[in-house]
A and B are shown apart, each in its own frame.
Chain A
Amino acid sequence: MAYSFPVEVLEHIFSFIDSDNDRNAVSLVCKSWYEIERWCRRKIFIGNCYAVTPRIMIRRFPELRSVSLKGKPHFADFNLVPEGWGGYVDPWVLAMGRAYPFLEELRLKRMVVSDEALEMVSKSFKNFKVLVLSSCEGFTTDGLASIAANCRNLRELDLRESDVEDLGGNWLSCFPESCTSLVSLNISCLGSDWSLQSLSALERLVGRSPNLRRLRLNRAVPLDKLANLLRRAPQLVELGTGTFSSELRPDVFSNLSGAFSGCKELKALSGFWDAVPSHLPAVYTICSGLTSLNLSDANIQSSDLVKLISECQNLQRLWVFDYIEDSGLEALAESCKNLQELRVFPSDPYAMEPNVTLTEQGLVAVSEGCPKLESVLYFCRQFTNNALFTIAKNRPNLTRFRLCIIEPRTPDYITLEPLDAGFGAIVQNCKELRRLSLSGLLTDRVFEHIGTHAKKLEMLSIAFAGDSDLGLYHVLSGCKSLRKLEIRDCPFGDKALLANAAKLETMRSLWMSSCLVSFEACKLLGQKMPRLNVEVIDERGPPDSRPESYPVEKLYIYRSVAGPRLDMPAFVWTMDEELALRLS
Chain B
Amino acid sequence: MELQLGLALGPPIHNPNKCLDLKICGFEPNEQVSSTPWTMSCVGAKNEFHVKNKRSSIEAFGSVVEEEEGQKPKTTLPLVSWSDQPHEEEEDNCGRGKICKRLIIERNQGGIVGWPPINSLRQKLLYQNRHPHQNQHGRIENNRTGENRPHSRSNSMYVKVKMEGVAIGRKIDLKRYHSYQTLKESLISMFSKNLRSELDVSANYTLTYQDREGDWLIAGDVPWRTFINSVRRLEILNNNGSLYRLGSPWFII
A interface vs B, CB < 8 Å? 75, 77-80, 135, 161, 163, 189, 191-193, 222, 243, 245-247, 249, 274, 276, 296-297, 299, 301, 345-350, 352, 379, 404, 406-411, 413, 416, 437, 441, 443, 461, 463, 467-470, 488-489, 491, 493-495, 513-516, 518, 540, 546-547, 549-551, 553
B119 and A161 contact, CB distance less than 8 A:
yes
Knowing A491-B64, A553-B39 touch, does A246 contact B126 (C-beta < 8 A)? no
B179 and A274 contact, CB distance less than 8 A:
yes
Q: CA of A468 to CA of B72 in the docked complex: distance in angstroms?
A: 12
Knowing A299-B129, A513-B36 touch, does A406 contact B67 (C-beta < 8 A)? no
B102 and A407 contact, CB distance less than 8 A:
yes
Knowing A299-B185, A416-B11, A441-B9 touch, does A553 contact B99 (C-beta < 8 A)? no
Fill in one digit per residue for B78-103: 1 if any A CB lies within 8 Å of its CB, else 0. Answer: 00000000000000000001010110
Knowing A193-B155, A547-B49, A549-B51 touch, does A409 contact B119 (C-beta < 8 A)? no
B interface vs A, CB < 8 Å? 7-9, 11-12, 35-39, 42-43, 49, 51, 54, 57-58, 61, 64-65, 67, 73, 97, 99, 101-102, 104, 106, 109-122, 125-126, 129-130, 136, 155, 177-179, 181-182, 185, 223-225, 253
Chain A residue contacts of B130, Cβ below 8 A: 348, 350
Q: CA of A469 to CA of B181 in the docked complex: distance in angstroms?
A: 51
B117 and A404 contact, CB distance less than 8 A:
yes
Knowing A247-B223, A297-B125, A540-B42 touch, does A346 contact B115 (C-beta < 8 A)? no
Knowing A79-B114, A413-B99, A514-B38 touch, does A491 contact B7 (C-beta < 8 A)? yes
Q: CA of A191 to CA of B111 in the docked complex: distance in angstroms?
A: 27
Chain B residue contacts of A443, Cβ below 8 A: 8, 73
B58 and A493 contact, CB distance less than 8 A:
yes
Q: CA of A514 to CA of B38 in the docked complex: distance in angstroms?
A: 6
Which of A243, A346, A352, A551 is close to B118, meaning CB atoms less than 8 Å apart? Answer: A346
Knowing A79-B120, A274-B178, A296-B122 touch, does A494 contact B54 (C-beta < 8 A)? yes
B9 and A468 contact, CB distance less than 8 A:
no
Given A245-B179, A245-B181, A413-B99, 5 extra CB contacts under 8 A? A161-B121, A274-B177, A349-B110, A409-B9, A491-B65
A97 CB to nearest B CB, Å: 30
A489 and B64 contact, CB distance less than 8 A:
no
Chain B residue contacts of A163, Cβ below 8 A: 120-121
A251 CB to nearest B CB, Å: 13
A-B pairs, 10 with minimum CB distance:
A78-B114, A245-B179, A549-B57, A77-B119, A468-B65, A247-B223, A514-B36, A467-B65, A491-B64, A409-B9
Chain B residue contacts of A409, Cβ below 8 A: 8-9
B29 CB to nearest A CB, Å: 12
- Which residue of chain A has its CB nearest to the CB of B52? A549
B112 and A408 contact, CB distance less than 8 A:
yes
A245 and B182 contact, CB distance less than 8 A:
yes
B208 CB to nearest A CB, Å: 19
Chain B residue contacts of A550, Cβ below 8 A: 42, 57
- Which residue of chain B has its CB nearest to the CB of A488? B114
Q: CA of A301 to CA of B155 in the docked complex: distance in angstroms?
A: 29
Q: Which of B8, B39, B117 has the most chain A CB within a 10 Å cutoff? A: B117
- Which residue of chain B has its CB nearest to the CB of A409? B9
B199 CB to nearest A CB, Å: 11
A388 CB to nearest B CB, Å: 18
Q: List 16 A-B contacts (CB under 8 A).
A: A79-B120, A222-B178, A246-B179, A247-B223, A247-B224, A274-B178, A349-B118, A404-B116, A406-B116, A416-B11, A416-B99, A467-B8, A493-B58, A494-B54, A549-B57, A553-B38
Q: CA of A193 to CA of B253 in the docked complex: distance in angstroms?
A: 28
Q: CA of A239 to CA of B35 in the docked complex: distance in angstroms?
A: 39
A274 and B182 contact, CB distance less than 8 A:
yes
Chain A residue contacts of B177, Cβ below 8 A: 274
B61 and A516 contact, CB distance less than 8 A:
yes
- Which residue of chain A has its CB nearest to the CB of B175? A193
A79 and B121 contact, CB distance less than 8 A:
no
Chain A residue contacts of B97, Cβ below 8 A: 416
Chain B residue contacts of A411, Cβ below 8 A: 9, 99
Q: CA of A437 to CA of B116 in the docked complex: distance in angstroms?
A: 12
Chain B residue contacts of A494, Cβ below 8 A: 54
A63 CB to nearest B CB, Å: 36
Chain B residue contacts of A297, Cβ below 8 A: 125
Q: CA of A313 to CA of B94 in the docked complex: distance in angstroms?
A: 48
Chain A residue contacts of B181, Cβ below 8 A: 245, 274, 276
Knowing A274-B178, A551-B61 touch, does A247 contact B225 (C-beta < 8 A)? yes
B8 and A518 contact, CB distance less than 8 A:
no
Q: CA of A515 to CA of B117 in the docked complex: distance in angstroms?
A: 17
- Which residue of chain B has its CB nearest to the CB of A160? B121
Knowing A301-B253, A468-B65 touch, does A77 contact B117 (C-beta < 8 A)? yes
Chain A residue contacts of B129, Cβ below 8 A: 299
Q: CA of A488 to CA of B115 in the docked complex: distance in angstroms?
A: 10
A424 CB to nearest B CB, Å: 17
Q: CA of A492 to CA of B224 in the docked complex: distance in angstroms?
A: 56
Q: CA of A413 to CA of B99 in the docked complex: distance in angstroms?
A: 8
B117 and A408 contact, CB distance less than 8 A:
no
Chain B residue contacts of A135, Cβ below 8 A: 119
A299 and B36 contact, CB distance less than 8 A:
no
A548 CB to nearest B CB, Å: 9
A348 and B126 contact, CB distance less than 8 A:
yes
A489 and B37 contact, CB distance less than 8 A:
yes
Which of A352, A468, A514 is close to B37, meaning CB atoms less than 8 Å apart? Answer: A514
Q: CA of A409 to CA of B116 in the docked complex: distance in angstroms?
A: 12
A160 CB to nearest B CB, Å: 9
